[in-house]
Structure 1
Amino acid sequence: MLFILSWTIRHDCRNKAMTRFIESGGALPPDGVTMLGRWHAVGRRSGFGVAEANDVTLLQKWVLNWSDMLDMEVYPAMTDEQIAPLMVSALKQG
């Protein structure tokens, strides 16, 4: 299943978060979670990523590892191919 992750580094944790990110080799997710892409907002302390996991508990474990410095939100996501049939069905139902 796909997930969208968004984060904001807390103001008072900026340097600690950057250090942890660099020292951890880019904050790689645990086994069982695949990071498909990650983007950082220019000039801000925020960003978002797309990850894939079959076990949401592994994703939660990863989020908890950063919850001391980042405010994070995680949303289930669908591709165009996955959501299109649902849209067709909804349109047929009126």
Structure 2
Amino acid sequence: MKFIVQWDGLPTAENSVIERFMKTGAQAPEGVKLLGRWHAVGGLHGFAVVEAEDTRGLAALSLDWGDLLTMSIVPAMTDEDLGAALGAHQAARK
């Protein structure tokens, strides 16, 4: 299943975030496959799209950075998945 991970850095965390990112490369934890990651220009804001079979790796990701970033992790759908869900919904309403 795909998830969207959004983060915002805590106001006093910039140097610590930079240091940790440069040291670790912000590798995804076991059980989480990073599909793509984008960072805002300026500030500590960004998002990633990841894939995971369960939430254990997502919890690890959140805990790994929770002291420096606030995170939001939500399920994501492709256009194809959404189209199928919408088609099923329309069919059920007829």
Q: Shorter chain as normaliser: what TM range?
A: over 0.9
Match of 2:81 in 1: 82
Within 5 Å, give how 1:59-70 maps onto structure 2. Answer: 59-70=58-69
Match of 1:15 in 2: 15
Match of 1:38 in 2: 37
Q: Quote how far apart the aligned CAs of 1:44 are.
A: 2.3
Amino acid corresponding to residue 21 of structure 2 in structure 1: F
SS at match of 2:13: helix
C-alpha separation between the residues in 2 aligned to 1:5 and 1:85?
24
C-alpha separation between the residues in 1 aligned to 2:15 and 2:41?
16
Q: Quote how far apart the aligned CAs of 1:58 are.
A: 1.1
Ranges of 4+ aligned residues in structure 1 off by more than 6 Å: none
* Per-residue deviation, residues 30-73 of structure 1 (Å, max 9, x unmatched): 12110000000112210000000102111111111100000000
Aligned-residue RMSD, C-alpha? 1.1
**Gapped runs of 5+ residues in structure 1?**
none
Q: Give the count of matched residue pairs.
A: 93
C-alpha separation between the residues in 1 aligned to 2:8 and 2:41?
13
**Gapped runs of 5+ residues in structure 2?**
none
